Amino acid sequence: MLALLALSLLAIGHEAASVSPLLTDEETFTSSEYYSSVESEINITPPPPAVPLDFVYHNYTALTDFLRNVSYHYPGLTHLYSIGQSVLKKELWVLAVSSTPDRHVAGKPEMKYVGNIHGNEPVSKEILLHLILHLVSGYGHDPVITLLLDHSRIHFLVSMNPDGFEKSSEGTCSNDKGRQNQKDYDLNRNFPDHFQHNHFPLQPETRAVIQWMSKVPFVLSAGLHGGALVASYPYENQISQPNHMLEREENPTPDDDVFRHLATVYAKNHATMWMGKPCKPKSESFVGGIVNGAKWYTFVGGMQDYNYIFHGTMEITLEVSCCKHPMASTLRQHWLDNRKALILYMYEALRGVKGFVMDEESGLPVGGAQMSVKGRHREFNTTADGEYWRILLNGSYILQVSAEGYESYEEPFEVMGDEATVLNVTLRRLAVSLSSTSSSPTLLPTGTVEDASGSTNDTTSPSDPDEFSGDGSHNTPDPSGIHPNPNNNSLTTSVTVATLDAVTSNNETTPNDLPTNPNATAATTTNNSGSNEDDDDDDDGDDDNVHPSNNADGPWAGAVISAASIPLAFGGGITMRLCLTLITACTIVFLRK
């Protein structure tokens, strides 16, 4: 199998070179032949890891020590950084795992796993720790793991709620003690929501995740919970809240086929989730182990819908244990039950369509281009480096692209097999009109950011990692100001632990170091939905979400009227010479007065 893998990857590399001049052999690959063998090879046992890990619950100190040790012993595969702090100032550690862990490589999709969102559901944290160790110890030995880490980067926020975990008690299956953060806010009810207003104040843990997502262009994600065995997919909220469970209806997204597929991939590869059996008598069963969130129960302010609507990230919610905080003696079995599903789910980040949007004249990337797949009414955006990626199932599609100052563009394409189709797009600038007052996207060298005022900023890490902005200044973001256009930034190479700004300051784009376009615009639609737990625990009934304002400056903001634009305002009925004559005459009369 290893020999076959080496030969197939070598042949694939030569084939990929002719696919696109923008992606190298290392960045473009065909995985269909190998992907089909993943299930048969998934049980390859990696060599003993360099860092020991017992099946016990890890408190904050033990968790920090483990992540630091893994980062120390596997420096070429891991990068440890913090995205912020909890209420009690505990670092929200993230470990990036990849063959290029400290930077974003164009063509490599970014994905994330987020665990322990509710402090009293720590099984997710422990199985993610074992997944990390499985990946780093298997690289170079297990072809499944090697292929995955060579062609993607996975970020592990193993504990989003470290304060809550410290209050939870082992052996409690339904008690809510420790569920909320230190200020008694449910973090999975704390995100901005598209469907209803969320009045809860933004918590530091939530703010950190929001800013994290604005820095890293995540393609795929999963939030892990406990209290059920099911894979839930968006939407989880809707405009009207049903009064009874029998009145609940599905609220599908425009990408419903993809979300159902993602949920099914996990459920069918879990030891028992695919059976759809209820965890306790009289509780719900789930056909195939999957469910649309709104059909299960609705709530405001969840993380799952927020990922999709704000950032275009495909996230599902994974309920990985019937008991929320079971005895540690069960952790080994939970890891074995979820291991295969966790690995195969990550492979889904490698399918669909990807590429760059470039300026036809300069060849530079067009950041912030608005993109959509025709028939799917959900826009997404290119990163500052002009890169895009969309997970799609096999089929024929039409890609639609538009950007300020450019002609709109459509291109049909097909997705076949399990590898991503590479589709690079060049946009032609619109003819410059004398009446034009809007500027087209600014093209700057890679690594700089230009704000609306025209000043160029770097990404200096702030002293307080809990509150920061892209220019290094401290701030407290308002949910209504968060936009769904992630910057294409990533980790800096460093031996020491980094903060999120350091994580996003060192990009690797194409082999030619393509410049970025930092004036990336973003769709202003907002939405959120969170994880699915037992109805009695999770449906708090509060209508909590924030709608960002799309027209704060008014429809005429920045409008400029010039003499040269007047003839065009008359539709060409008056010539330029006549118009200028009238203006001159009016000016003379005015001066005489």
- The DSSP element (H or E) to which 591 belongs, if any, is helix 576-592
What is the b/e burial string over 325-336, where b = at least 16 CB atoms within 10 angstroms of the residue's CB? bbebeebeebbe
Catalytic-labelled residue, pool 205, 319, 419, 508: 319
Nearest of 351, 345, 347, 352 to residue 269 by alpha carbon: 345
Q: By CB neighbour count within 10 A (0-12 exposed, 13-18 middle, 19+ buried), where does 385 fall?
A: buried
Structure-block tokens of residue 131:
């997944």
DSSP H helical ranges for 251-371: 256-269, 293-296, 303-311, 331-347
As a whole number of angstroms, the distance between CA 34 and CA 6 comes to 10
CA dist 524 to 207, 310, 546, Å? 18, 8, 12
Q: How many CB atoms lie within 10 A of CB 540?
A: 14
As a whole number of angstroms, the distance between CA 448 and CA 516 comes to 8
Long-range CB contacts (within 8 A, 24+) of 510-515:
510/22, 510/23, 510/24, 510/106, 510/356, 511/24, 513/446, 514/22, 514/106, 514/356, 514/364, 514/365, 514/385, 514/386, 514/446, 515/364, 515/365, 515/443, 515/444, 515/445, 515/446
Q: In 3-state terms, the chain is what percent helix, strand and coil (to 5)?
A: 30, 20, 50
Nearest of 515, 448, 461, 521 to residue 486 by alpha carbon: 521
CB 346 within 8 A of CB 135: no
Answer yes or no: 348 catalytic.
Answer: no
Residues serving a catalytic function are 319
